[in-house]
Structure 1
Amino acid sequence: MEKIIFYFFAAVMVFGATMVITIRNPVRAALFLVLTFFASAALWLLLEAEFLAITLVLVYVGAVMVLFLFVVMMLDVNLARLKEGFIKHLPLGAAVAIVTVSMMGWVVGPEHFGLDQYAEPVRRAADYSNTKALGELLYTVYVYPFEIAAMVLLVAIVAAIALTLRRRPQTKYQNPADQIAVRRSDRIRMVKMPAEKRK
């Protein structure tokens, strides 16, 4: 029964990932990516990694994908313009795809990821916490890669803010301090004009 559930969610995940890269509508592609994340979370649950499954759903589906959908729906994607350079870049794209698939097939092949390459997992007690074990590994064995990843994310955040807050000479900005300090006499100018008679 467990194998049937595993193959079902694996097929759903492969189907969702395939639709993400083949469908033309970006909003539907993002929704299929949400389906792929849910199927991947189900596989994590089958592997008894509940913390990773919940984190995948909360972080990616609940936060990142909402941001993706918001950006995609705000952008006006011109599909006709994207198709203009398809034929020109097709040979290069096909060559890169062939190399990538060949490398993935070599890395994920049975000589590296076969079931006989790994020992049977050790049975744990009922009170065993995989979250605690993950935290211990993350902050002891993998503390330096964890800190490097944090610095990379910090640099990405600072770079995004710096690119967003650039001063553009053509753009008009509002100064809240000047708006608060304004007086009524500065806003309105009373002009007295003599009355004119209609002809």
Structure 2
Amino acid sequence: MPEKQGDIQYVDAHTHQRTGDVSVIAIRNLIVGHDPESPEAVPFCSVGAHPWYWRKADMEQLRAWSAHPSVKAIGECGLDRLTDTPLDEQWPVFRQQIALSEAVRKPLIIHCVRAFPEIVAEHKAQQPTQPWILHGFNNRSSFLNMVLDAGLYVSLGAALLRGDSPASAAIARIPADRLLLETDDKPLPVSEVYQAAASRLGWSLAQLAAQVRANAGTVFGV
């Protein structure tokens, strides 16, 4: 039987979905050059130039938006080997957003596809003062080891609903104070992700929600 949710408040650390659910604090991702909305229309958001859409991104607009009080993070941004843009063309845009994260003192949400060694090496080289959050992790344990050793936060999503997914195997190895949960682009309630995560960990739903809220408070200030 599903655990009774009661007055539990959830944090969705990274979502592209609109939600009117008052039980959810959602960090809505706005992709510059792709999403039509601006931070003025969203209570909590992140803003970034995504590797898929960076050619359409107005970096001056991104810098202007980054200072808005509803913006709690920069990104998602990062490196993606499966998109058409060569990696060497993605690097300058990624590094601009690392610098922006440091300048406005807001965390960085990382999109990483087949580029874990590069992301970890860049973190080591940059020595950022702001947290980096690797969103949507669902990869093998060797990559998780790299990310955890580098000190990144790890956000897990809908892959937790599949018992045989790498994310389901990974969750128990992520330090409790570096775990976040998300829906990303999946049209499902974030409570379902939390229920799956609590089941994998053997925690109560309330315990897990409290831990993730505390982590989100540390990272995003929400």
- TM-score category, normalised to shorter length: under 0.3
Give TM-score, length-normalised by structure 2: 0.21
Give the helix-richer structure, 1 or 2: 1
Give the greater-gyration-radius structure (CA).
Answer: 1
The structure with the greater share of residues assigned to strand is 2
TM-score (norm 1): 0.23
